Amino acid sequence: MAPSTITTALTHPLARWTRGAAQVTAMDREASFSSDLPKDADFVPVFSARTFQYGDVVLVRERRDKTRVRLIGPLTPEGAVGNSRGQMNHSALVGKSPRDKVDFPNGQPGYILHEPSLEEYTLLAGRHCTPVYPKDASAIVSLLGIHPGDRVLDAGTGNGALALHLALYARPEEGSVGPCIHTVERREDHHRLAKKFVAGYRRGLLSPHIAFHQGMLSEILPTLPVPFDAAVLDLPDAHLQLQYLAPMVKPDGHVLCYVPHMSQVMECVHAGQESGMGMDRVVEVGWREWEVGRTRVRTQGEGDSGAGVWMCRPEHRPAGHTGFLVLLHNRRHAPKGSGDEEERMKR
Ligand SMILES: C[S@@+](CC[C@H](N)C(=O)[O-])C[C@H]1O[C@@H](n2cnc3c(N)ncnc32)[C@H](O)[C@@H]1O
């Protein structure tokens, strides 16, 4: 194995390495072994994965049909989970680790447990409006070029799915405090549910980075700290909001409108131009899953040959259209000598 591979494995934050009874942290190991490969057979990596607790959301995969996955939780002392084979209390999951198996009290095979990724969490959770799908959310983060320390507007909040993706990247820089994402939602019920949804992801890991505001975007905007480094509009009338938003975005800062119809794309480009915003790009994100696995070949008249062959092909189900990503930039120049202008020149 190449030394670089070992070093990567050793730097995983959950890694603990053990040789006999002695345990040392990954960083200790990296210091003493980065140029020195482990040779003995009993040198085994042990990962101190965390265990599930009440309040956690768990991804469960059915042991009988591993394609069936769902989210359970947040785990509560009164909660239960089950299917046609049986039922178990949430308490049966508490204290277990990712990849542990739990069976029903009647002996029937139950579930394999996992910690959901952000993609799984946003795709599998219940929703009250159409979220920004992970394929689009990751492209949005990339197109906007979001960094730690950036201040980003997200309107409307909806489920909070995009806010979570934005918060992964626009977290405060080291030493600074306070939220970086300002998310605005006109409906009280959506606002409330989104807060809960964000808090349910990895025990509220990203909640401190998100400020939730309830009201119409045009009314909330003047109350927010500005300027924004970037903004996303996922609203039915995104084009009507650009006039309010344009003065709040840094010179050369980006605004991205997420809209399902081409007629809305044209409206956003036109309204952007009228508000001093130029169009950079219009993008539709493609995402094609493949089926890769072994299967049996059946030959006519001869039955099942029994031979396993690799099947590698795009999935039957096509990924349908979700939305267009319309990337605009603020054409405004900052006044000479201002901090904004210096920042613009650095980019
Ligand atoms: C499609 S959903 C947003 C989904 C969200 N981006 C997500 O990833 O979960 C649109 C949301 O915008 C809200 N909304 C519509 N017009 C608004 C406005 N003018 N100001 C604030 N929120 C608005 C709606 O109530 C709805 O919850």
> Is domain 121-285+322-346 classified as CATH 3.40.50.150?
yes
Backbone angles phi, psi at 198, to 5 degrees: -65, -40
Atom of ligand 1 nearest to the CA of 215: 21
Residue 130's nearest CA partner among 317, 318, 259 is: 259
pLDDT in tens, 214-226: 999 999 999 999 9
Backbone angles phi, psi at 11, to 5 degrees: -85, 0
When pLDDT is cut at 50, 70 and 90, the band that residue 289 belongs to is confident
pLDDT in tens, 39-68: 555 655 555 568 999 999 999 999 999 889
Rounded Cα–Cα distance for residues 220 and 180 (Å): 16
The residue whose C-alpha atom lies closest to atom 2 belonging to ligand 1 is 158
Ligand 1 centroid from CA 62, angstroms: 34
Rounded Cα–Cα distance for residues 265 and 104 (Å): 51
- Within 6 A (CB) of ligand 1 lie 129-132, 155-156, 158-162, 184-187, 190, 216-217, 234-236
Residue 215's nearest CA partner among 177, 188, 182, 175 is: 188
CATH of span 58-116: 3.10.330
Atom of ligand 1 nearest to the CA of 194: 9
When pLDDT is cut at 50, 70 and 90, the band that residue 347 belongs to is very low
Residue 267's nearest CA partner among 296, 224, 246, 238 is: 238
Q: What is the mean pLDDT of the chain?
A: 84
Domain ranges of the chain: 3-47, 58-116, 121-285+322-346
Place of tokens 């049996």: 296
Ligand 1 centroid from CA 288, angstroms: 27
The residue whose C-alpha atom lies closest to atom 4 belonging to ligand 1 is 158
